[in-house]
Chains A and B, each alone.
Chain A
Amino acid sequence: MLDDFFIRALVAGIGIAIVAGPLGCFVIWRRMAYFGDTMAHSALLGVALSLLLELNLMVSVFIVASVVSLLLLFLQKRGALSTDALLGILSHSALSIGLVIVAFMTWVRIDLVGFLFGDILAVSEADIDIIWGGGILVVFALVYLWRPLLASTVNPELAEAEGLRPERARLFFMLLMALVIAIAMKIVGILLITSLLIIPAATARRFAGSPEIMAVLASVIGALAVAGGLFGSLHFDTPSGPSIVVAALALFVLSLLPVGRRLESASHFPNGGHQ
């Protein structure tokens, strides 16, 4: 039952979950969910360009996601439109341009659904090397940048005043996001990458007493969601991305269950209310 392709997908997926955990925490703390979405949607443009120019897929996606995030930073500074309008424009334009380019390339056949929603069959051994190599790079960078990133999340001016260079931290954060999107695309799919960033981090919040614990917990919860989702995907023959997101959602709902509170309320109403 556990075929080679499945083990590959599992190893790749857990690698992604480990880096997505701490990065997802920053996405939540900084309220950047839609920023992440925009970068992820631009990945399809990266896919199209990689086919057109015969570039490595992950490199191409990384470059396009980085360019889109820098473009957004630039447009934000100009301040002509609100950030959410800019995000909407960039996100859907990049996705649509990617789809249009793919449609023009009649000579290539690509599995669009696989790119949009993830495909556990698509993971090769080379992909695993890139995912774990890139993942280790992201984790080291996060550890190194942890203090300036956290301080500028709390207050950029405070970080700047006390010598932590928040602009640099922000720029590196964007590049790390682009890197994670590039390596997560095959497993989770372009449309669902941000959920792998956000849902495990949101689940971890309730159990975490410090930012560091929350980051580690988010990785663990993400890994559980990936394992659960991939088993489900294999068992029910569903696309891997949505299956992982459903598993993550299940964990999130479990974390919300007010177990302690229910016991408490039972003892609060000894009369049993209206009956």
Chain B
Amino acid sequence: MLNFRSPETRPLVSLNNTGVRRNGRWLVRGVEFSIGRGEIVTLIGPNGSGKSTTAKTAIGVLKPDEGYVERIGGLKVGYVPQKLAIDWTLPLTVERLMTLTGPLKAREIEEALAATGMLHMAKAEVQHLSGGEFQRALLARAIARKPDLLVLDEPVQGVDFSGEIALYELIKQIRNRTGCGILLISHDLHIVMAETDTVVCLNGHVCCRGTPQAVSQSPEYLKLFGRRAAGTLAVYSHHHDHTHLPDGRVLHADGSITESCFPGDGHHHHEEGEDVHDHDPDCGCGHHARLHGYEQPEKRDA
């Protein structure tokens, strides 16, 4: 894969064939990817496809039952979990939230809150924030500690469209300014942040991976999203060679059906740059590409 950054450092985190099993069932299996400094990796996939599990495995909250995870020594993580409910009995202002996991200087708190546009809310109780404000407060908390790796589990949930663009802009700025690696989980199967270096599509395993196509290259999307969004969002078209059926079996591109889609069954193959758009409309993955037949150059200019 093309990478415009110097390869002088080891990746911050790399997952090697990791799998997590709970109650005799594999939540996710055979995951391979790595995140370097300044790199943005976006995980997409339907509900229950193992995105959060994979992110938690990457940062050591979950231990893999298979494969292994390598992290550089002393890796500093900033984490924004997918669900965070703060009991109303806990009096917690935005300002106090900032130092939840470690001490910070007043200046660092101020900078992070200013960067996320939350400075005016510093004294507000977190329970009184709107969904979007709360997400920005959590993001401010995660970046204030100057992490090497920022892990954002659906950071744009509960945020309206223009708020989503603003958040992606902000994430891009954070990456450019601090050079941290970013692992982003997206709720959207087709639209990802334009700055993403690698998209990994999960559905219990790595379905496919690739680079997104800039929206600005397509007049249709430009019309749909408007000019402001076009620089921030990108389209990820899926290259799947198999489909997950509702009963858990797998339908392959050649029409055959197997019990699983693991390499052992002799079917699995996702070469990079493969240009197959053989998506079944009833795809269990839930992401029949809206862009079926839509062809654009694969590599986006960095």
A residues with a Cβ closer than 8 A to B are 28-29, 31, 147, 150-151, 153-155, 157-164, 202, 205, 208-211, 213-214
Max count, chain A CB within 10 A of own CB: residue among B78, B90, B92: B90
User: Told that A28-B89, A160-B61, A162-B145 touch, could you supply 7 new A-B pairs with CB distance under 8 A?
Assistant: A150-B100, A157-B61, A161-B77, A161-B151, A164-B101, A211-B96, A214-B91
Interface: B236 (CB within 8 A): no
Interface majority SS on A: helix, strand, loop or mixed?
helix
Please name all residues of chain B whose beta carbon is closer than 8 Å to the beta carbon of A157 when the two chains form the complex: 56, 61, 79, 81
- Contact residues of B with A, CB < 8 Å? 56, 59-61, 77-79, 81, 84, 86-87, 89-93, 96, 100-102, 145, 151
Residue of B56, B78, B101 touching A151 (CB-CB under 8 A): B101
Q: Chain A residue with minimal CB distance to B83? A: A155
Bound Cα distance A98, B279 (Å): 66
Please report the C-alpha to C-alpha distance between residue A210 and residue B96 in the assembled complex, in whole angstroms: 7
Using CB atoms, name the residue of chain A closest to B145.
A162
Contact between chains at A205 and B102 (CB < 8 Å): no
Docked-complex contact A158 and B84, CB < 8 angstroms: yes
Q: How far is the CB of B219 from chain A (nearest CB, A)?
A: 42
Residues on the A chain within 8 Å of B56, using CB:
157, 161
In the A-B complex, list the 5 residue pairs whose CB atoms are closest, starting with the nearest: A161-B79, A162-B101, A208-B91, A29-B90, A161-B59
B77 touches A210 (CB 8 A): no
Chain A residues in 8 Å Cβ range of B86: 154
Complex contacts, B101 vs chain A, CB 8 Å: 147, 151, 158-159, 162-164
Contact A210 to B151, CB < 8 A, known contacts A151-B100, A155-B84, A162-B102: no
Given the contacts A28-B89, A147-B101, A209-B93, A160 and B84 also touching, CB distance less than 8 Å = no
**A155, B96: Cα distance in complex, Å:** 15
- What is the CB-to-nearest-CB distance from B227 to chain A, in angstroms, rounded to a whole number? 37
Whether A210 contacts B91 by the Cβ 8 Å rule is yes
Closest to A30 in B: B87
Chain A residues within 8 Å of B87, by CB = 28-29, 31
Q: Are A158 and B81 touching (Cβ within 8 A)? A: yes
Set B60, B81, B91: member contacting A211, Cβ < 8 A = B91
In the complex formed, the residue of A with least CB distance to B96 is: A210
| Residue contact B81 to A205, C-beta cutoff 8 Å | no
Do B90 and A154 touch across chains, with their CB atoms under 8 A apart? yes
Tell me how far the C-beta of B87 lies from the nearest C-beta in chain A, rounded to whole angstroms: 6
